[in-house]
Amino acid sequence: MVDEDISRRTIALSIRTGKLTARALAWALRAAGRKIQKERQTHKAPHGRQSVKQLMKQGEATNSLSVEAPREFDRVARRWNVDYAFYKNGDGKYLLFFKSKQADAITACFGEYSRRVLDRPRARRVPILERMKRAGELLRQRPQKERAKEAEREER
């Protein structure tokens, strides 16, 4: 039993070098550490916002809701630590996919999201193109000054 634990924790590292220095050994150990970390990351399931493909790949049942402001939902969902994905299905319309296991957390999260969306005013900001058009109209309406250049030459 003890031998199994030791053998599972042992790492074999081989290096081809002319002279083994502390720097070369440190470099090899860092490279081995990076490789181990990379393998661990590939086996972990992603959390939070992810693609629909990643969410479906986890093999769990999913549900969906329609959402209008995904950026606002992102801000709220980070607090609730839920796994979700967006799918765009029209102009300004998104489907929110989430795991069925997390339905309670999503319900609470969606409640806070809907309160935020309903509380914010519809026309809070005027789009930049409209502001530029208005500024252009104001400039056209303003009377323009005629500039006349007078060249005065002094007689020598």
Q: List pLDDT tens digits, range 96-147.
A: 888 888 888 888 988 888 888 887 766 567 788 999 999 999 888 887 776 6
Residue type, 58: Q
pTM of the model: 0.50
| Rounded Cα–Cα distance for residues 39 and 67 (Å) | 35
Is the model more confident about 19 or about 152? 19
CB 59 within 8 A of CB 74: no
Position 136: which residue type?
A: G
SS3 (DSSP) at 88: strand
Distance of CA 108 to the CA centre of its chain: 22
CB atoms within 10 A of CB 32: 14
Report pLDDT for 30: 94
Residue 55 scores a pLDDT above 80: yes
